[in-house]
């Protein structure tokens, strides 16, 4: 079953703009992870944020986590055409548990 749910399902922006994707989940978690998938390729890990963290940065990526609202957001600043991909959030309850992936947000960045 898929616990995470991304919003929006699809997002289209122009290069240079910021892209924000949201993820909501249902049960308590140990950590939440964001992955990127280019068309026809495997998933690539972007950021892992643990339940006791509120914000994390990696290059142009910023992830926030609000455990009280059971939600997370991924912000991509100054987007590029190469950021065009599907973005998935995945949650883990703890060690020994598998990740539960959402259905993803499809991001299109046009030049």
Partner 1 sequence: EAGVVQSPRYKIIEKKQPVAFWCNPISGHNTLYWYLQNLGQGPELLIRYENEEAVDDSQLPKDRFSAERLKGVDSTLKIQPAELGDSAVYLCASSLDGGLYEQYFGPGTRLTVT
* Residues of this chain that bind partner 1 (CB under 8 A): 2, 4, 30-31, 33, 35, 40-45, 48, 88, 90, 92-99, 101-104
Smallest separation, CB 36 to partner 1 (Å): 11
Distance (Å, whole) CA 21 – CA 68 = 18
Smallest separation, CB 11 to partner 1 (Å): 15
Name 5's Cβ contacts closer than 8 Å, sequence gap at least 6: 23, 24, 25, 102, 103
Smallest separation, CB 71 to partner 1 (Å): 17
By C-beta, is 98 or 111 nearer to partner 1?
A: 98
Q: How much is the CA Rg of the chain, to the nearest whole Å?
A: 13
By C-beta, is 14 or 26 nearer to partner 1?
A: 26
By C-beta, is 31 or 67 nearer to partner 1?
A: 31
b/e burial code for range 47-70 (CB count within 10 A of at least 16 → b): bebebeeeeeeeeebbbbbeeeeb
Smallest separation, CB 74 to partner 1 (Å): 14
């Amino acid at each position: 079953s898929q616990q995470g749910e991304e919003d929006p399902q699809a997002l289209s922006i122009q290069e240079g703009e910021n892209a924000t994707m949201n993820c909501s989940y249902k049960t308590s978690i140990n950590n939440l992870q964001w992955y990127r998938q280019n068309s026809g390729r495997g998933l690539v890990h972007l950021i892992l944020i643990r339940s006791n963290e509120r914000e994390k940065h990696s290059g142009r990526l910023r992830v926030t986590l609000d455990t009280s609202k059971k939600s997370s957001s991924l912000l991509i600043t100054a987007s590029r055409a190469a950021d065009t991909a599907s973005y998935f959030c995945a949650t883990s309850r703890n060690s020994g548990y598998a990740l539960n992936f959402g259905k993803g947000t499809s991001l299109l960045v046009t030049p």
